[in-house]
Amino acid sequence: MMFHRKHLLIGSAFLLAVIALIGWAYNYFDDQRSAATDAMHEALTCAQLGSEIGRLRHSPAGANQPATRPSAADLNGRIAAAAANTGLSARAIDRIDHDPPHQSVDGHSVETPTRIALRQTTLPQLAALLQEIDRPNDGLRVSRLHLAAPPGAEDAKTWSAEVTLTDSAPVPPSRSGPSDAAQEAGPR
């Protein structure tokens, strides 16, 4: 009986150690994933701030000139070239969706969003791609980034990402006064 009890005690201790190890590993990898997400968010914020600084630096000279927007084909080519320059395979770009332009919330610009779905990309590749695409002087900026680990992925080396690029162009000043603009907006 003592022999059986000894094996039961050793088995229980081993099972407890395995459960503790699994709990520690889950917490460790969850912290690593959170740190990577936070670092990517900080890099995105820095890129947006750099883009905004560049835009503001050059806005007085180009304020009265009409903005030229890249066509969908030009933007697709720019995204594909940036992906190739950063080492992403052509299969990493799952899709590119061009949404219709809409007026910004503040009413001072027209925004044209473009959504890019990426798969099997590393965080360094994604950061390099965003830096390559987000140029401060042309009005194109990264406005949204969603990261997700692929289903069933046990390592956090590759990610799926959805990036929204927004092309902003200033609205040309209207010849009508503020009251005319309010009338055009219609009843609320």
Can you point out the beta strands (E) in the chain? Answer: 93-98, 102-103, 109-121, 140-148, 159-170
Looking at residue 160, its pLDDT comes to: 87
Segment-wise mean pLDDT, segments of 10 residues, the chain, 188 residues: 80 93 92 88 84 69 54 84 85 89 80 89 86 73 85 74 85 51 43
CB atoms within 10 A of CB 44: 19
Residues in Cβ contact with 2 at an 8 Å cutoff, skipping those fewer than 6 apart: none
Looking at residue 155, its pLDDT comes to: 65
CA dist 82 and 129 (Å) reads: 6
Looking at residue 159, its pLDDT comes to: 84
The verdict on pTM exceeding 0.75 is no
Looking at residue 173, its pLDDT comes to: 60
Domains of the chain: 31-57+71-172 (3.30.70.60)
Looking at residue 172, its pLDDT comes to: 65
